[in-house]
Chain A
Amino acid sequence: MTALMYLMPAALFLGLLGVAAFYWSLRSGQFDDLDGAAHRILFDDEDEDEKKDRPPEE
C-alpha cells in the first residue's frame, strides 16, 4: 500500500495540471468561437508576422 503514498499525489497533480491548462485556454479565448476554430485549421498561414494572433477579450 505504500505505492499509494506517491501514486495518489501524482494522480491528483496530473489532474490539477489538466484543470489549469483548461483554465488557461479558457482565459485566452480559445473557447469563444468553437465553430470558427474548427475551420481555421484549413486556412493557409500568413507569411508576414501574425497580426491577429491574440483573440479579442470580449
Chain B
Amino acid sequence: MSVSLECCPPVELAADAERFEHEGLLASAWSHARSLGAERYELSLGVSNLHCPSCIDQIERSLSGLEGVEQARVNLSTRRLFVRWRQDVSDLDGIIAKVTALGYRLAPLDSDSRTKAGNREERELLRAVALAGFAAANVMLLSVSVWSGLVSDMGPATRALMHWVSALIALPTIVIAGRPFFRSAVAALGGGRMNMDVPISLAVTLAAGMSLSETMRGGEHVYFDAAVTLLFFLLIGRYLDLRIRGKARSAAENLMAMRAASATVIDPDGSQRRLAAAQVEPGMLVAIAPGERIPVDGRVEQGRSDIDTALVTGETLPRTVEEGGEVFAGTVNLNAAIRVRVTSTEDSTLLAEIVHLMEAAEQGRARYQRLADRVARAYAPVVHILAAVTFLGWLWAGSLDWQLALLTAVAVLIITCPCALGLAVPAVQVAAVDRLLRQGILVKSADGLERLAQADVVVFDKTGTLTQGRPELINATNLTAEDLRLAAGLAAASKHPLARAVCRTAEARGIITVPADAVGETPGMGLSAAVNGRELRLGNRRWCGIADQAETTAAGADTGSGLDMELWLAEADRAPVRFRFHDALRPDARQCVVQLRKRGLEVELLSGDRPGPVRQVAESLGIETWHAECRPDAKIARLKTLAARGKRVLMVGDGLNDAPALSEAFVSISPADASEISQTAADLIFQGDSLDALIEAQVVAGAARRLVLQNFSLTFLYNAIAVPFAMAGMVTPLVAAVAMSVSSIVVTLNSLRLYAIQRRPKDRPPPQPQPSRPDLSLLELNRGGRAQS
C-alpha cells in the first residue's frame, strides 16, 4: 500500500498526501492517455511491485470485471499494464483506484515514439533471424548433399541444380536479413569510422557474389551456406543484445515515470485544478501543500516554510524559504502551505547553471571508442590486406585464372570472417546485463559496463549516496523515556526530517507516544503545544529561548565540531534537553569503501555539504581525500583534474547538483531514488538501499571485460591457425562451415561463464546483524573507523 511506513503519521496529512497522489496520478494519466475516438481511450502504465505471476491474474481479473473496460493486459517482462476502456461507461478514476487498492503503484507512460521505434527494431531483427534461420537450415541441407556428392557419384548437372536452388534461397535472404549490418556499415564508412559491420558486410557480399558467379560457371565450390549461417549467428547475437538493453531501458523508464509529479495549479479566477507537472507552464501559480514534493521550479509568492533540499543541494538540514525565495523541483515542502510562481529554467540561477554545465560536460566528454570497434579498426585492414595478397599471389605467382584466385581470396575473407568476433562482445554483454538486471542494477548506456571495468577512481557524493540522506537521533541512550515520549508527541505533527527521526527512534525503543493536540509549527523555528496545561516546545535554540553564548560553548565542548544537527525540548520549569542528530551512513557504506580499495580503486568524497559533516563521514569511512562545499562547477573541476592525471573516474551521486558531474565522469552510477536529471545522466542505476550493488556491478563489469578479451584471444588463435590454410587454397566450403561453427560455439559458451563467476567470499558483505539501529549507526562506525585506521 502507498501508506508510508514511518511511525505516527499525522492522520490528516497522510490522507491529504494520498488524495494528492491519486489526483496527481489521474491528471498525469489523462495527459498520457490516447483517444481512439467515440469515448474510447487507451493507456499504458508502469506497475511497481509486480513480481509474481499471480499479480498478473489479480490485476487483469479485477479490471476485466469492470464494466466498460475493453481490454486489460499486464506484461510481466516490461512490468506494464495496458488498458483500453470506454470513458462513457467506466471512468479512468475507477480503473486507477481499483489497481491502487490492490496495493500496486502506477505510473502513466508515454506510448511514445522512442519505445515504439525500439519495439519495431526488435521485431525487424527477430524477423530477420527467422528468415536467416530458415535459409541457413535449407542451404546447409543442400550443401551437405553436394559435399557428400563430391566424394561419391553426384553428376555435375545435379550439383548445378543444388547450387542454383541454394542461390535462390540465399540471395534474397542476404538482401533482406543482411540489412541491419549493411546499414550500420554504410553509416560507419560514411562517418569515416570503422566498425565490425564493415568486414562482416564485405565478407557476406563478396561470398554471395563469388558463389553466384561460380554457380553460373558450374564450379565445384560455393559459399552460400557460409554467408547465410554467418548472418544467422550474428543476427541472434544482435537480437539478444537489443532485447536485454530494451529490457533495462524500459525498467529505467518505469522508474522515472514513478517519480513524475503533478501540480495543483491556481487559475487567475482562484479555482484550483490538478495538472501533470509536464503540463505546467512558466507564469502559472502553483499551490504546494505541506509534505508535498514540489513539482516545479519557481519563486515563492506567498507563505513561509521549511524545504527539504537534500536531493538538490546535498544538504541534510531543511532550508527556510520566504516570499521571493527560490524552490526547485524535487525538493519537499515540509511544514506550511506555500504558493509558488512557476519560473522557466532560464530564470533560475541554480538550474540554469546545472543545465549549462551538463551540456558542456556532454560535449566535452571524449567520444569513447568501444573495444569492439577498436579491434575492428585494427583487424579489418589486416584481413583485407591478407585477402588481397592471396588474390594477387595466386593470380601472378600461382598463375590461376582470376576467378579461382578471387575464390581463394573470398575463402580467406570467410574463414577470418568475424563471426566469432562479432559475437565476442554481444554474447558477454547480454549475459552481464541480464545478470545485473536480475539484481536490480540497470545498465542504461550501451558501453557503460565496458567503461565501468576501466574505472580506477571512485568519487562519491555524500548525502543520499554514502549516507541515507536523512538524520537519525544519536544520543537516544542519554535521553529519558519520558523526554523521548514528550518530544515524539510533538514531533508526530511535523514532516521535518529531525522530527521524523525522533518519531522513528521512539518507535524503535517501543515507546508509546500520544500525538499532542493543536501543535503549532513555525517554519525555521520549531513546534509548540500545550501538554497537561503547560507549554512544551521542540525546536532550535532560539525557539527554546536558550542564550546563544551558553550553548555555543556547551555544544563546542560536547562534539568538538559544533556542527551536529540538534533539537531542544523545553518545558517551563526545567533545563532544556538536547537531541542530537547525524545523517546516518548507509549500513554497508564502510564495507563498500573497503572492498573498492581491495579491488584497487581509489576512493574520494565530493560533497556540497559543509566541511564538518563531510569530514566526519570521510573519517569514519577512512576516506583520505575529501572536498566539502563543492558547487556543481567545483565537482566538475575536480573530475577534470583527475582526468588530466590520467584517471578514469566512476562518479556515484544522486542529487541534482551531482548531475553535471555524472555526465562529466568517465562512467557514472545513481541510486534509483536519485533526482530525475541525475538518473538520466547516469550510465547505471541501482535499486535498493545497499551499496553492495556497486561492488557487484564492478565485479561483473570486470569479469565481462576479461571474458571479452578471452573471446578475442580465442578468435585470434583460431585465425592464426586457419588463415594460412585458407591462403594456401586448402579451405573448402565444408572446412569453412565447420571452422566457423566451432569458433562461434566456443565463444558463446565462454561468454556464458559469466553467470557462473562467483564473487570471492571476502568480496561479499557479511550479514548485517541489525541493519537499522538508528541510535548506534554513526557512533559505532566512528569508533570502528578509528580503531581500524
A51 interface neighbour in B64, B115, B130, B137, Cβ under 8 Å: B64
B116 engages A56 (CB within 8 Å):
no
A16 engages B134 (CB within 8 Å):
yes
Task: Say if the beta carbon of B369 comes within 8 Å of chain A.
Answer: no
- Where the two chains meet, the residues of A that have a C-beta atom closer than 8 Å to any C-beta of B are 1, 4, 8, 11-12, 15-16, 18-19, 22-23, 26, 31-36, 39-40, 42-43, 46, 51-52, 54-56, 58
- The dominant DSSP class at the B interface is helix
Known: A11-B138, A43-B57. A36 touches B76 (CB 8 A): yes
Segment at the interface with A among B119-127, B448-456, B517-525: B119-127
Which of B30-67 touch A at CB < 8 Å? Answer: 42, 44, 53, 56-57, 60, 64
A35 engages B77 (CB within 8 Å):
yes
| Chain A min CB distance to B32 (Å) | 14
B165 engages A33 (CB within 8 Å):
no
B78 engages A33 (CB within 8 Å):
yes
A33 engages B138 (CB within 8 Å):
no
A58 interface neighbour in B69, B72, B119, B138, Cβ under 8 Å: B119
A36 engages B116 (CB within 8 Å):
no
Task: Say if the beta carbon of B75 comes within 8 Å of chain A.
Answer: yes
Given contacts A32-B75, A33-B78, A52-B73, 18 further A-B contacts (CB under 8 A): A11-B141, A12-B165, A15-B137, A16-B134, A19-B130, A26-B123, A26-B126, A33-B75, A33-B76, A34-B77, A36-B56, A42-B53, A51-B72, A52-B60, A52-B72, A55-B73, A58-B111, A58-B115
Residues of A within 8 A of B60 (CB): 52
Residue of A nearest to B119 (CB): A58
B56 engages A58 (CB within 8 Å):
no
Residues of A within 8 A of B57 (CB): 43
- Where the two chains meet, the residues of B that have a C-beta atom closer than 8 Å to any C-beta of A are 42, 44, 53, 56-57, 60, 64, 69-78, 82, 84, 111, 115-116, 119, 123, 126-127, 130-131, 134, 137-138, 141-142, 158, 161, 165, 169
Residues of A within 8 A of B84 (CB): 56
| Chain A min CB distance to B164 (Å) | 11
Minimum-distance CB pairs A-B, first 8: A39-B53, A36-B76, A56-B82, A33-B75, A35-B77, A51-B64, A35-B76, A19-B134
How long is the Cα–Cα vector from A37 to B597 in the complex, in angstroms?
Answer: 44
- The dominant DSSP class at the A interface is helix
| Residue of A26, A35, A55 ringed by the most chain B CB atoms within 10 A | A35
A31 interface neighbour in B70, B116, B126, B131, Cβ under 8 Å: B126
| Chain B min CB distance to A26 (Å) | 6
B165 interface neighbour in A8, A34, A58, Cβ under 8 Å: A8
| Residue of A12, A22, A51, A54 ringed by the most chain B CB atoms within 10 A | A51
How long is the Cα–Cα vector from A12 to B293 in the complex, in angstroms?
Answer: 63
How long is the Cα–Cα vector from A34 to B138 in the complex, in angstroms?
Answer: 28
How long is the Cα–Cα vector from A19 to B131 in the complex, in angstroms?
Answer: 7
| Chain A min CB distance to B174 (Å) | 16
How long is the Cα–Cα vector from A49 to B64 in the complex, in angstroms?
Answer: 11
Known: A35-B77, A54-B71. A22 touches B130 (CB 8 A): yes
How long is the Cα–Cα vector from A23 to B42 in the complex, in angstroms?
Answer: 26
CB-based A-B contact count at 8 angstroms: 74
Residues of B within 8 A of A52 (CB): 60, 64, 71-73
Residues of B within 8 A of A18 (CB): 134
A56 engages B71 (CB within 8 Å):
yes
Can you report 9 A-B residue pairs in the complex whose CB atoms are below 8 A from each other? A15-B134, A15-B137, A15-B138, A19-B130, A26-B123, A31-B126, A39-B76, A40-B56, A51-B72
A36 engages B77 (CB within 8 Å):
yes
A51 engages B75 (CB within 8 Å):
no
How long is the Cα–Cα vector from A34 to B247 in the complex, in angstroms?
Answer: 12
A56 engages B73 (CB within 8 Å):
yes
| Chain A min CB distance to B660 (Å) | 35
How long is the Cα–Cα vector from A12 to B137 in the complex, in angstroms?
Answer: 10
| Chain B min CB distance to A12 (Å) | 6
A36 engages B134 (CB within 8 Å):
no
Residue of B nearest to A31 (CB): B126
Known: A36-B77, A51-B72, A58-B116. A23 touches B130 (CB 8 A): yes
| Chain B min CB distance to A50 (Å) | 9
| Chain A min CB distance to B150 (Å) | 15
Known: A11-B138, A34-B77. A39 touches B56 (CB 8 A): yes
Residues of A within 8 A of B116 (CB): 58
How long is the Cα–Cα vector from A6 to B69 in the complex, in angstroms?
Answer: 53
B74 engages A1 (CB within 8 Å):
no
Residues of B within 8 A of A19 (CB): 130-131, 134
Residue of B nearest to A53 (CB): B71
| Residue of B53, B78, B169 ringed by the most chain A CB atoms within 10 A | B53
| Chain A min CB distance to B61 (Å) | 8
Residue of B nearest to A41 (CB): B53
Residues of B within 8 A of A16 (CB): 134
Residues of B within 8 A of A43 (CB): 56-57
How long is the Cα–Cα vector from A46 to B158 in the complex, in angstroms?
Answer: 57
Residue of B nearest to A40 (CB): B56
Residues of B within 8 A of A56 (CB): 42, 44, 71, 73, 82, 84
B53 engages A36 (CB within 8 Å):
yes
| Residue of B72, B75, B161 ringed by the most chain A CB atoms within 10 A | B75
| Residue of A8, A54, A55 ringed by the most chain B CB atoms within 10 A | A8
B82 interface neighbour in A11, A23, A58, Cβ under 8 Å: A58
| Chain B min CB distance to A16 (Å) | 7
How long is the Cα–Cα vector from A13 to B162 in the complex, in angstroms?
Answer: 16
Residues of B within 8 A of A39 (CB): 53, 56, 76
| Chain A min CB distance to B326 (Å) | 40
Residue of B nearest to A37 (CB): B76
Residue of B nearest to A34 (CB): B77
Residues of A within 8 A of B134 (CB): 15-16, 18-19
Residues of B within 8 A of A36 (CB): 53, 56, 74-77
| Chain A min CB distance to B40 (Å) | 14
| Chain A min CB distance to B488 (Å) | 45
| Chain B min CB distance to A8 (Å) | 6
How long is the Cα–Cα vector from A35 to B42 in the complex, in angstroms?
Answer: 23
Residue of B nearest to A22 (CB): B130
A12 engages B73 (CB within 8 Å):
no
| Chain B min CB distance to A52 (Å) | 5
How long is the Cα–Cα vector from A20 to B468 in the complex, in angstroms?
Answer: 55
How long is the Cα–Cα vector from A24 to B250 in the complex, in angstroms?
Answer: 25
Residue of A nearest to B122 (CB): A31
Residues of B within 8 A of A26 (CB): 123, 126-127, 130
How long is the Cα–Cα vector from A54 to B116 in the complex, in angstroms?
Answer: 18
Residues of A within 8 A of B165 (CB): 8, 12
